Chains A and B, each alone.
Chain A
Amino acid sequence: MPGTDPLLLDEISLLLVWTAVAIYVLAFIAYAIDLARRSDLALKAKDQIVARELVTAGGGGVISSGSGAPASASSAKPRYLWARLGTVLTALGFVFHLVATVLRGVAAGRVPWSNMYEFALTGLLLIIAVYLVVLTRYDLRFLGSLMTGLAVLLLGGATLAFHVEVVPLADPLKSVWLVVHVFVASLATALFALAFGLSVVQLIQTRRERKLLDGPTDAETKRSFLRTVPNAEALESLAYRFAIVGFIFWTFTLIAGSIWANDAWGRFWGFDTKEVWTFVIWVLYAGYIHARATRGWRGTRSAWLSIIGFTAVLFNFTIVNVFFKGLHAYSGLTT
C-alpha cells in the first residue's frame, strides 16, 4: 500500500504540471498580444491626454470640481488589458505549478529538487515566483512573454525528456546541503533569468534609441512596444540590481557547495565538471559587475555579458548535467 501511494501522487503532480504548462501557454499568448497592441494604446493614450488638456483649457472654468485633473492623470497611464490577463494567467499557472511541485515533494518524502526533472520543476517555479513578486514593485510585464515562454519551453521540455519515477535518494544527496545549496542556486538562477530578460530588452531599446538619435522621426512614429518600455539606462540599472542579488546567491551557492563537497567527497574543490561551470558562471558575473563599472563597457557590452552569463547558467543546467561526466551525476537519468 505505501508503495502505490507515491506513484499516484506523482501522477497527479504530473497532470498538474501539464495543466500549468497549458496555462503558461495561454499567458504567453496574452502577453504576446499585449506587446503587439501596446504601441497603439500608448499612442492613443497620448492623444487622449492632449485632447483632454485642450478641452480643459478651452472649457474655461467648466471643470472645477477638482475631479478633473486627477482623472486625466490616472487615465494617462494606458491600461494594458491583455498584459493584465497575461499576469492573471501566469499567477494561475503558478498555483498549479506550485501544487504540482509540493505534491512531487510529498510523493518523494523529501525536497522536490534532487534530479533533473525536479531541478526544472522547482527552478522554473522560482523564476515565475520571482517574476510575480517583482511585478508588485516594478511594471515588468513587457518581460511576461519571455518569462512564460521560458517556462513553457523548459518545463514542458524537462517533463518530456527528464521525468523519472520517485526513487530513494542516493547517499551523497542525503544532506541538509541539498536543501540549501540547490535551493539557493535555483533562486540565483531565477534572478539571473530576470536580469537576462531585462538585458535583452535593453539591447533592443538601445538600438531603437540610437536610431532615434541618428535618423529623422521616421523611427519615432514606427509602432513598437518599445515606446512603452523604460529607456535603456533604466533597464540596465534594473538588470544590474537583479544580477547582483543573483550574484550574492550564487556566491553563497559556491561556498555551500564546497562545504558539501568536503563532507561528501572529502575535498572542498576538485574542478569536477559541475564545479568548473559553477566557477565559470561566477567569474562571468563578476566580469559583468566590473564591466558596469568600467568606462567604455557600461551599456551594451555589459548587457552582452549578462546574456552570456545566463546562457552559461542554462548550459550548466542542461548540457552539463546530461552529457558531461563527473561526480555530480544526479540527473536521475540512466545512460
Chain B
Amino acid sequence: MTDPLRPSDHADSTSDEVTQPRLGVVGWLRWGWRQLTSMRTALVLLLLLAIAAVPGSLVPQRTADPNGVTQYFTDNPDLAPVLDKLSLFDVYSSPWFSAIYLLLFISLIGCVLPRTKHHWKALRSQPPRTPARLSRLDDHRTRTIQVDADTDAVAAAAVESAAAQLRKSGYRVARYDSRGSFSVSAERGYLRETGNLLFHGALVGVLIAVGVGGGFTYTGQRVLVEGQAFSNSLLDYSSFNPGRFVGGDTLTPYSMTLDKFDVTYVPPGQPGSGQAGNFVAHVTTQTPGGDAQDGEVRVNHPLDVQGDRVYLLGNGYAPTVTIRDADGKEVFHDSVAFLPQDANMTSLGVIKVADGLPQQLGLLGFFYPTMDVLDSGALTSTYGALEYPTLTLRVYEGDLGIDDGTPRSVYTLDPSKMTQIAGGDSGNPAIQLMPGQTEDLPNGLGTITFENEAPPGAVGYEQSVKRFASLSIHRDLAGPWVLGFALLALFGLLAALFVPRRRMWVKATPRDGSVEIEYAGLARGEDPTLAAAVDQLADKHGATLPSQSHPDTGKVD
C-alpha cells in the first residue's frame, strides 16, 4: 500500500497487467501515455540523448565555435551543406535533439506527477500490518524470555518499548495487537522517494530556468583601449545579444574606463618561457551621481558592476597611428586594436582613413611586439612583450566600401575596389615603423607616424604601445536559479540513492511462562545494511528487557 508508485515495467513492480490497449481512442491514448511514461521509454530516451549529444563534439558548433564552422565549410564544400541541412552545426538546438529531450521531460513529468500524488498520500498513511509469519523473512531474530508473572503484560511492555525505540530512530510506527500477540510495525525511508521526486523535479526546474532565464539574459562585447571609456548603453557595445525579454532601456546606466592593462610573460630560459599570464584590466566605474570606483577584471574573477558581470575575454596591442596629408594636416589619429594571431602576439589590424585624403585609404597592418626575421625573410614575433616592437603596413587606395551603409567589420579590409600602393606587388615596399618613427606614404600622399605612448623619460619600449582589453558584459538572471535547482537535484539524488528504505517489525507472543520476541526487517530496494540494522535493533531492545532473557538464536532462517 505504501510502496512508492513505479511505472509498471519497474523491476520491483508486481503489476503484470496486460498492456494491450482496450479498443477506442481513449484506450489507445491511455496505452500510448503508459508507454511514454514507462521505465523502458525513459531509458531508451536517455541513451538516445547520450548518443545524440556526441556529434556536437565531432563537428564544430555555431554557438561554441563559429569560426570553426566557417572553416569547415571552406574545407569540406560538398559535405558541409549536407551536414547543415541535418542541423549538425547546431546540434543542441536541432529539431531531433530537442525532440529527444522534450519527450524525455514529458515522460519525466508524466512519471513524476502521479508518483508525487501517491507519495503525498503514503506520507500520511500507517505502516502496514505485521505479517503473520515473520520467520519467513530473510532478516529475522528470535529471543525468548522466561516470565513468572503476567506474560501478556510483559509482552505488551516489550512491544511498547520497542515502538519507542524505533520511533526514536526515525521510524514511523503503528501497533498491531491481536489476540495472542502484540506487535509493532515500523517503516522508514520515505525520504528516499522524496529525494527521487525532488531529483527528477529539480531537473525540470533546471530546464525551465535555462529556457525562461535565457530570455532575461544579455551579453554585450566591447573592446577598450587603455584610456578609453564606454557607457552601458546599446550604442556603445560593439555587439549585443539580448534575450527575448530584454529591451534596450533595461540596461543599468554606468560607465567604465580602462585605466591600464597588465600582463606578465615568462622570461626566456625558464620553463614555459613566453607564456602569458596574470592578465588584469584595471578599470574605473562610475554610476550617475555615484563615486568613481576602482576595480579589476581578471580571468576567473569577473567584476560585479550594478548587477552586471564584466568578464575579460581577450587582450592585445593597440598601436597608435597618426596620418597626415601632404600639407601636414592630421587626417587620422587613433589607437587601433590589433587582433593577436599567435602566442607571441603577432597581431593583425586594419586602419581605415575614410576622409581627408584624395581617395580613401586602407592599411593592413602586422604588429610584432618583439620582431625577428626568419630565414625566409618573413617577419615574425618571438616574444609577447614589447622588446622590439615593429609595425608593418600594406597600403591600399580606393573605395573602402563603407559608404553604402553595409556593416563592415573593423577588423577586415575588403580590397576588391582598391589598388595596393605599398607592399606586395605594388612596386613600393611595405611601410615598416617602430614606435616614434614616421615614414612617407607612397605617391606623396603624406606621412604616417607610429606614436610612442611611453611617458617622457621612459627607458626601453615597455610602455611604447597601448594595450586593449576585450570585455564581455553579462546580465544573467537564470544563473542563480539554475544553480539552485542543480543543487536541489544533487541533494535529492543523495537521499534517493543512500537513504535506506526498510520496514521493521517487533512481535511479542506470550507463551506458557515465557514470551517469545521476534525481530524482522524487510528491505525495500537496495539496502546493504539491513542485517546489521536488525541486529542492532534486537541488541538494543534486548538490553531493556528483564535480565533473565536469553537469545535463542543469532539467526533463524
Contacts and interface: CB of A to CB of B under 8 A. Distances in A.
Contacts of A240: 526
Contact of A291 (B43, B489, B526): B43
Given A167-B266, A171-B277, A283-B50, A266 B489 contact: no
Contacts of A244: 497
Interface stretch (A85-93, A201-209, A268-276): A268-276
Interface string A1-25: 0010011000000000000000000
B1 interface: no
Contact of A292 (B11, B42, B299): B11
A106 to B, nearest CB: 15
B266 A168 contact: yes
Given A263-B302, A296-B9, A273 B57 contact: yes
B39 A171 contact: no
A220 interface: no
B57 A324 contact: yes
B293 to A, nearest CB: 21
B275 to A, nearest CB: 6
Interface residues of B, number: 59
B494 interface: yes
Contacts of B128: none
Interface string B57-90: 1001101110010000000000000000000000
A321 to B, nearest CB: 12
A268 B40 contact: no
Interface in A291-325: 291-298, 305, 320, 324-325
B487 A255 contact: yes
B311 interface: yes
Given A255-B483, A296-B9, A263 B301 contact: yes
Interface in A222-247: 237, 240-241, 244, 247
Assign chain A's interface to a size class.
35 or more
Interface string A151-195: 000000000000001111111101100000000000000000000
B312 to A, nearest CB: 9
B43 to A, nearest CB: 5
Interface in A248-300: 248, 251-252, 255, 258-260, 262-273, 276-277, 279-280, 283-284, 286-287, 290-298
Contacts of B299: 171-172, 174, 264
A276 B277 contact: no
B427 interface: no
B479 interface: yes
A273 B11 CA distance: 35
Contacts of A241: 526, 528
B490 interface: yes
B26 to A, nearest CB: 26
Given A290-B39, A294-B10, A266 B272 contact: no
Contact of B275 (A168, A296, A320): A168
Contacts of B298: 171
A165 B11 contact: no
Interface string B276-305: 011100000000000000000011111000
B53 A276 contact: yes
B56 interface: yes
A266 B309 contact: yes
Contact of B13 (A279, A295, A297): A295
A130 B210 CA distance: 36
A102 B121 CA distance: 54
B47 interface: yes
B90 to A, nearest CB: 10
A248 B497 contact: yes
Interface string B480-492: 0011001101100
B315 to A, nearest CB: 11
B455 interface: no
Contacts of A298: 11
A112 to B, nearest CB: 15
Contacts of A172: 299-300
Contacts of B347: none
Contact of A290 (B43, B483, B489): B43
Contact of B63 (A251, A271, A279, A291): A271
Nearest to B39: A294
Contacts of B91: 271
B300 A294 contact: no
Interface in B323-376: none
Contact of A266 (B39, B40, B43, B219): B219
B9 A295 contact: yes
Given A168-B272, A244-B497, A271 B92 contact: yes
B54 interface: yes
B5 interface: no
A266 B474 contact: yes
Interface in B526-543: 526, 528
Contacts of A165: 271-272
B46 interface: yes
A24 B50 CA distance: 35
A272 B63 CA distance: 9
A36 B60 CA distance: 49
Contact of A296 (B6, B40, B309): B40
A264 B528 CA distance: 42
A286 B68 contact: no
Contacts of A297: 11, 40, 43
Nearest to A272: B64
Q: Top 3 nearest A-B pairs by Cβ distance? A: A167-B272, A171-B299, A266-B311
Interface of B: 6, 9-13, 39-40, 42-43, 46-47, 49-50, 53-54, 56-57, 60-61, 63-65, 68, 91-92, 210, 219, 266, 270-272, 275, 277-279, 298-302, 309, 311, 313, 472, 474, 476, 479, 482-483, 486-487, 489-490, 493-494, 497, 526, 528
Interface of A: 3, 6-7, 165-172, 174-175, 237, 240-241, 244, 247-248, 251-252, 255, 258-260, 262-273, 276-277, 279-280, 283-284, 286-287, 290-298, 305, 320, 324-327
19 contacts: A167-B266, A168-B266, A171-B299, A237-B528, A247-B493, A247-B497, A255-B490, A260-B300, A264-B300, A266-B472, A266-B474, A271-B61, A271-B63, A272-B64, A283-B49, A283-B50, A294-B9, A294-B39, A326-B57
Given A248-B493, A263-B301, A290-B42, 11 more contacts: A167-B275, A168-B277, A247-B497, A258-B486, A263-B302, A264-B299, A270-B63, A280-B54, A297-B11, A297-B43, A325-B65
